[in-house]
Amino acid sequence: MSDSLKKCVMIIDAELPLGVIANTSAILGVTLGRQVPEQVGPDVLDASQKAHLGIISIPVAMLKGDQNSLKSLRERLYNEEFSELIAVDFSDVAQSCNVYNEYIAKAASVQEEKHNYLGIAIYGDKKKVNKLTGFLPLLR
């Protein structure tokens, strides 16, 4: 499938402090890059022959959400209709942990409905991503 048929969005809780918004976006981006490495372009050289590492080759729309819209969106992403989309979430369960093993243990003890999502990144078929997120405003 061509890149023009793919879409990538991040939906972030706009009520969070700026630093938490930035941290959430970074975590979602790193995780998404691992899941979709083919979307990271090759390294490039500038006119001075200085190297710059490859970045994502498609735009990433930053959308505004809140706790309710993120919870609802995450629930919809569990539906079979959207199963082929790649969805990365970052919740208060993850944010409260200092090391990954702590996150693994804590996540295993907290039911999904008790997770409060700070942000969600979605990548996949443009029509399906738009169906889920087309009504959300840009995060500004």
Instruction: State pLDDT tens for residues 7-48.
Output: 999 999 999 999 999 999 999 999 999 999 999 999 999 999
pLDDT computed for residue 1 by the predictor: 42
With a cut of 90, say whether residue 3 has pLDDT above it: no
pLDDT computed for residue 12 by the predictor: 98
Structure confidence by residue, pLDDT tens digits, 89-132: 999 999 999 999 999 999 999 999 999 999 999 999 999 999 99
What's the rounded mean pLDDT across residues 69-97? 97
- Asked if residues 14 and 8 have their Cβ atoms less than 8 Å apart, the reply is no
Residue 120: helix, strand or coil by DSSP? Answer: strand
With a cut of 60, say whether residue 133 has pLDDT above it: yes
Closest CA to 7 of 83, 91, 121: 121
Residue 109: helix, strand or coil by DSSP? Answer: helix
How would you list the strands of the sheet with 117-125, edge to edge?
60-65, 6-13, 117-125, 86-91
CATH 3.30.10.20 correct for 3-133: no
pLDDT computed for residue 51 by the predictor: 98
Element (DSSP H or E) covering residue 91: strand 86-91
pLDDT computed for residue 2 by the predictor: 53
Closest CA to 3 of 36, 34, 43, 26: 36
Helical axes 67-77 vs 126-133, angle rounded to 10°: 140
Q: What is the CB-side half-sphere exposure of residue 68 using CA atoms within 13 A?
A: 1
The pLDDT confidence band at residue 4, using thresholds 50, 70 and 90, is: confident
C-beta pairs of 26-30 under 8 Å, 24+ apart in sequence:
27/90, 27/94, 27/119, 28/88, 28/90, 28/119, 28/120, 28/121, 29/56, 29/60, 29/121
pLDDT computed for residue 75 by the predictor: 96
